[in-house]
Structure 1
Amino acid sequence: MRHLIVNSSQLLMMNGPDRARHGKEMQPVGLVREGAVLIDEGKIIAAGLPDLVQGHELAQDARLLDAGGRVILPGFVDSHTHPVFAGPRLKDFEARLKGKTYADIADEGGGILSTVNGVRGASLNALTESLRERAGRFIECGTTTIEAKSGYGLDVENELKMLRAIKAVNEAGPLELIATFLGAHAVPGEMKHDREGYIRRVCEEMLPAVAKEKLASFVDAFCEKGFFSVEETKRIFEAAAKAGLKPKIHAEQLSRSGSVPMSVTAGALSADHLECIDDADLPQLAKGGIVSCLVPGSNYFLAKPYPPARRLIDAGAAVALATDFNPGTCPCWDMSMILSIACTQMKMTPEEALVAATINGAAALGLEKTHGTIEPGKTADLVCYEAEDYRELPYWFGAPQVAWTMKRGVMVHSRREYRL
């Protein structure tokens, strides 16, 4: 199906180099007033000034979509989520409000391991159906692609079950899910006295099984005191490389571990969280070919200090924003809420935040050549907002603003008056 989208108030093309945008490069958003977009067979054919786009030879018989004077931008790419689980962690939430620490909650049977118990007790069908419902929520909020981690199974059978659920929902669409194997999320309770045995299991059993079924593109590890050390994470990444999986990492989240140099050397696409980095990390994050993925929704929910977005951007790093959607520390799938937190709490500009949630999110998943901008040849993933100015996206928070969402040129969510 061929579509011609016209009459936007602002078209944010995010056009530029097909790579992550660093430092000052995060300011331009490629704004075209009253911009138009021509789409054919799920790809963008032309975009920009209305006269030029409407004059394209393929525009003559395209189906017209009037944006009604609203903002159009690329669909959000949420590059860090944990969306497969069996239920919320309400007891953890209440305990935290009463002053319990993360360690206290874990000692009482809560935290990650409580979600592990839920996932282990759930069927593949139940996990798939709950994930399918959550996928619809992302679409409703203008997100068209997410990274989806495992990590709540912590044994071969249940990690594979999570990844199979991700595969099933991705194949059904419309949300695109990029799978990450996170077996190194925590040591399961039954192996708490045999961490070395669990690491061997991750490297020698889980990774080969994941690779055999081609269930994941990436590997991740929670590199943190009490979880996995830098050396242990390095071993896991080396085993993952043999299995054909590229690394991503939970880095410097709760304490200073010194994981950034190892992450850069290992070729990690992104280092995520980064609350506890120091100045020595900044040059490597700026020049090491790695995306700094910040997830301020979790800091908001936990009432913890935010990562140093301004220091990273001013040092020349490529910053991405993601929700960190998960049942324990960030039950939020709305990227516009993350934009608002990034601007108000981390002092990112609206332009930087939008770049971070689109093209830089795509780069954190190796998708920068196909996703994250509105340019000819790119996948036609678009979102139209009930706004006349893009700065309204982080300004109005806590209320739905999406008029419609398009995935691969198909309207997958809309209010009735926009249906094609």
Structure 2
Amino acid sequence: MLSSCVRVSLPLWQKLLSVSRPPAPRICGSWNNRGPKNQSTLSHMWSTASLWNIECLSRSRRTFTSNAKGTDSSFDKVMPLEQKYVDDATPEKLLELTATYWRRLRCAKPLLLTCNIDKAVECRVVDSVLGTGASCVSSPDPNSLMEKLLLHKESQGIIGCYINIDSLDPKIGQYKNAFEVMDSCCNAIMVDINIPPEAQDTGFSYIDEMLHMVKPQVIRFVNGTWNYVACMAPEQITPRAQEHTDIARLHRCDIISQKHKALVIDCDAYPVMMNASEFEGVIFSRSPSILKKIYGFDVMTGAIIATMLSASSSNAMLACITSIMGIDYSSAKCADASEGPASLAINFIDKVHRISTSPDTLLDHDSPVRFVKRVHVPVGTPEGPQGNSSD
């Protein structure tokens, strides 16, 4: 008999194929589910209810008792459990779902408010968001962001917020004043984090405090997940977390996700995401390395993800999966069509616009996506394939 709470769940592929059903009441849903202020048909149709009780995981190892047949209960065996990441089924209609989400994004026409973006890439970010069918307004600092939020508060439209910070940013503390306004006005908040090599422990503390104040639905690390975990959660450092495999990256995202109750994306080399509240993770394929030559490419893609998130805030996991699939398609196509670094950014924005106007072009996109789930199994059970090294 199990001595701990047993979690009954459906695999992620079944949830993906049932997104057109009306949402069921949440037993214990997503930690930070803002959703639109006025429930539209879009959010009603494309939200997915949690189908299990969320079990608080205070330890990475559990035990349960197994009573052998014909023996006295006093001789029950105690079998230790450990946390593993195993492969989950990939949905057969993932590309159809991705095309539908991009089509719905153009119909929703959300407004994305960005904050703390370099002036040199601001135009590219705005063009990328406009390519998705949404609109974009940029703010240089948190105080300006708060003013624009108050200005658009009564619009009754869909509003998303994208914040770009690094550990050396002196304006991190200003987000405390803007939090209440962001929480009441925004359908979704996404924070992009850049951690330079010279980052100090105090910088990590500022980022940690800012995340606790803002409470974003999605946190994306452009780099530095290992440094952040080592500084802010040293008690959870294990040999696995120090490796350079896909599973190790998922594990680090899982630690941060449990800490901040948000979906966490690690974009070092290629995207890996983990949502601790749903015990599910996704590993994407590696994009063409030439795209790193586009100045501000990470900010452009972050704004696109935040735009999709604002239109589908009731399911952050699906919003991030479908937006990254579209970004991957645009990246591959623009790399093939570009004659040099100068034309990469223009071609990328053009491909994003093509997806928005003709989403069915995604049906021909062949990109491997690996779905993973976190489970607790008896000690010694082999783990799923380790995947490629992120080095």
Calculate the TM-score normalised by the size of structure 2: 0.38
Larger helix proportion of the pair: 2
Calculate the TM-score normalised by the size of structure 1: 0.36
